[in-house]
């Protein structure tokens, strides 16, 4: 790109916070998998709410910072926001699958013990 990202737009969109949150979600999913801990996996749902919030305000921020000279970089920035939000959704899906898997093991073992 020939045009740098407008610093004001980066700060207003909170893309750095979004990236950090996405990484934290992935770390929690990995930890939940390793420890088979549904409490850790459930943290991801709360973290995803922040990503959804940032994503929902991103378009408004882009419009308020729009200038012809920075249009291309702003659209790339919006694309990054959308992709990070999607990564968060996919991480949340993994957390849901982990919870299902871990809790089904517990239920399955209870049935065996009751017989």
CATH code, domain with 91: 1.20.58.220
Q: How many CA atoms lie within 13 A of 82 on its CB side?
A: 8
- The three-state secondary structure class of 40 is helix
Establish if 27 belongs to a structural domain. yes
pLDDT tops 80 at residue 3: no
pLDDT band at 90 (very low <50, low <70, confident <90, very high): very high
Bigger pLDDT: 114 or 79? 79
51-83 per-position pLDDT tens digit: 999 999 998 888 887 777 778 888 888 999 999
Domain that holds residue 54: 7-114
pLDDT tops 60 at residue 114: no
Establish if 26 belongs to a structural domain. yes
Task: Domain count for the chain, please give it.
Answer: 1
Establish if 106 belongs to a structural domain. yes
Establish if 2 belongs to a structural domain. no
What is the reported pTM? 0.81
pLDDT at 4: 74
> What is the spatial distance between Cα 46 and Cα 40, in angstroms, rounded to a whole number?
11
18-52 per-position pLDDT tens digit: 999 999 999 999 999 999 999 999 999 999 999 99
Query: DSSP character for 3?
Result: S
Mean pLDDT taken over the chain: 87
- Residue owning tokens 């992709």: 83
* Other residues' Cβ atoms within 10 Å of the Cβ of residue 91: 23
pLDDT band at 108 (very low <50, low <70, confident <90, very high): low
Q: Are 13 and 58 in contact (CB under 8 A)?
A: yes
Establish if 36 belongs to a structural domain. yes
């Amino acid at each position: 790109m020939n045009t740098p990202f407008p610093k004001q737009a980066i700060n207003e969109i909170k893309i750095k916070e979004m990236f950090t949150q996405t990484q934290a979600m992935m770390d929690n999913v990995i930890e939940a998998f390793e420890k088979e801990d549904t409490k850790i996996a459930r943290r991801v749902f709360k973290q995803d709410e922040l990503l959804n919030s940032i994503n929902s305000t991103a378009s408004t921020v882009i419009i308020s910072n729009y200038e012809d000279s920075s249009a291309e970089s702003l659209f790339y920035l919006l694309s990054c926001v959308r992709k990070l939000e999607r990564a968060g959704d996919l991480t949340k899906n993994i957390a849901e699958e982990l919870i299902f898997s871990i809790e089904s093991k517990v239920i399955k073992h209870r049935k065996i013990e009751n017989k």
